[in-house]
Amino acid sequence: MSAKLLRVTGLTKRFGTFHAVNDVSFEVAEGSIHSIIGPNGAGKTTLFRLLTGVHAPTSGSVVFEDGPIAGKRPYTIARKGLVQSFQMTSIFPRLTALESIAAVIVTRSGRSADLLTRFHRAVESEARELLESVGLGAEAETEARTLSHGDQRALDIALALATHPKLLLLDEPTSGMSPAETRKTTQLVVELARSSGLTVLFSEHDMDVVFEISERVTVLHQGRVIAEGTVAEVQSNPEVMAVYLGEGPVLEAVAN
């Protein structure tokens, strides 16, 4: 059995009297692809913000590897290897894909003053390898802002990978994508997890993606966990079908 890389126990976040996340507990196995699903307002985004340190919890614990991280600052958590991929291309819109990756590598190495030189031979090889790993080798000299939506999300993932994460959080990675872009991104996540042993925790609205690549699924509703298990276990859970996925025939159609 794989070791547990992330352990969340009794995690709660209140905003006034509103429980955005309420007594949430789950574990993520090292090297796995684990999804968090739930309807709008279920608490998925708040949960991710708690894991990455954007929000401090009202109560509960988060243990990453062997140490507690709940309430620590985002940069401290990121340095430990828990990194979320945002739409990071907005940070470097006029840089090329290669320059964007190089900037993150240089910052990671603690040589941020070198950013003034625009390009660095010392990091070019690693930057190009990262672009190749996400299928953007041919787009190295393309400005980030001019990439397609799907390619921008692939670059977002490469930017996160440049920080050397142990656990990569992806929030709605296929949002707004065409079917072809969704398929490409789904394959990318699977290939990265398999080739590098990367652990992936993602939230997703597309049930086809969830059911295709997840090894474990945690279902949130109104801030609470209502189900957790394998895809088959979640698909057959009556409360999940009633609250989130709809009636049985609908669930079967989505699963197929």
pLDDT of 57-66, one tens digit each?
Answer: 999 999 999 8
**Whole-number average pLDDT of the chain:** 87
Kindly list the strands in the beta sheet with 224-229, ordered across the sheet, starting from the edge strand earlier in the chain: 82-85, 167-171, 199-203, 33-37, 216-221, 224-229
Residue 149's pLDDT is: 87
DSSP character string of 147-197: S-HHHHHHHHHHHHHTT--SEEEEESTTTT--HHHHHHHHHHHHHHHHHH-
Q: What distance in Å separates the CA atoms of residue 208 and residue 37, rounded to the nearest whole number?
A: 12
Q: Is the pLDDT of residue 252 over 70?
A: no
Residue 175 has pLDDT above 80, yes or no: yes
Q: Residues 24-56: pLDDT tens digits?
A: 999 999 999 999 999 888 999 999 999 999 999
76-90 average pLDDT score:
84
Q: What are phi and psi of 12, to 5 degrees?
A: -135, 140
If you average pLDDT over residues 177-200, what whole number do you get?
Answer: 89
pLDDT, mean of residues 218-230: 95
Residue type, 102: A
Alpha helices in the chain (DSSP H): 44-52, 74-80, 97-108, 121-133, 149-161, 179-196, 207-213, 231-235, 238-240, 248-255
| Contacts of residue 172, Cβ cutoff 8 Å, sequence gap at least 6 | 203, 204, 205
| More confident: 218 or 176 | 218
Is 116's pLDDT higher than 70? no
pLDDT confidence of residue 97: 94
Q: How many Å apart are CA 96 and CA 91, to the nearest integer?
A: 12
Q: What is the pLDDT of residue 206?
A: 87
At residue 90, the pLDDT reads: 66
Strand partners, 191: none
Quote the percentage of the chain above a pLDDT of 90.
57
pTM, to two decimals:
0.86
